[in-house]
Amino acid sequence: MSIPLYERATEAARFIAAKSGRVTSRVAVVLGSGLGSVADCVQNGVEIPYGEIPYFVQSTVEGHAGTMIVGTCSGVDVALMRGRFHFYEGYSMEEVTLPIRVFAAMGIRSLILTNAAGGVGSKLSPGSLMIITDHINMMGENPLRGENDDRFGPRFPDMTAAYAPAYIEVAHDVAREMKVRLAEGVYMALRGPSYETPAEIRMMRELGADAVGMSTVPEVIVARHSGIKVLAISCITNVAAGLASTEINHSEVMEVGTRAGRQLAQLIVRVIPRLV
């Protein structure tokens, strides 16, 4: 008989607390492809490989280090994931979103998600940063499908403000102080791992998407189910298929993500202490 999800999340949270020496954290951060430099903001950090954390799977994607760092950033206790798990890697939605369940068990109530995304909107060029204001789930799956455990959250969680408006305002305030342009837009999530066709991108634009990627949305749904507030930022690492003459490749995605990641890291460091 398999161990219930709630017990698995609780056990993993206890392990992280024992390993890091920190019983609780206030803010969690999940880093996408090529954005690992954000981890440099963590002070007095304890690094824990995913392979050591009970019930965590392994990230198999280049650019995802596969470690959790628990420490402080801007004086705030944080838990930071260098790399995430993806549905396209063959993992179940339960496995992909387990870290978010663990964050909830750790007492975390604020979550910053980052990802590398393709720009669908005409004003988003490689290197742009876009705050996600809403999403369109085209993954063909919902991580809350199946029996609901009320200890996590309600059967039918509301997604009207899945991305916390107050957190979006904070991010804009910080961006203005830094004189950094921060766009806003709708993120569309697909299964992957193949990049989209030009025809699919045309469809996405008609449906109202500004950026497209293969992650984030399952994490947001589970976070909101658990009462965690979310701020999500896409690093636009490429122009989507059919909008440029060149082909898309993962190496270039990571390269652009690394360059833009330095600016994103500064933004996150300043945002963290303002999240309440």
Residues designated catalytic: 33, 64, 86, 88-89, 116, 214-215, 238, 250
**Distance, CA of 91 to CA of 105 (rounded, Å):** 22
In the chain, % helix, strand, coil (3-state, to 5) comes to 35, 25, 40
- Sequence-separated (6 or more) residues with CB below 8 Å from residue 206: none
Amino acid at 100: I
What sections of 35-153 are H helices per DSSP? 93-105
* Burial status of residue 42 (CB atoms within 10 A of its CB: 0-12, 13-18, 19 or more): buried
Q: Which two tokens stand for residue 52?
A: 């050591």
**Distance, CA of 79 to CA of 96 (rounded, Å):** 17
**Distance, CA of 105 to CA of 64 (rounded, Å):** 24
Nearest to 123 by CA among 172, 183, 166, 163: 183
CA–centroid distance for 1 within its chain? 31
Cβ 97 vs Cβ 235: under 8 Å:
no
**Distance, CA of 120 to CA of 118 (rounded, Å):** 6
Q: Is 171 helix (H, G, I), strand (E, B) or coil?
A: helix
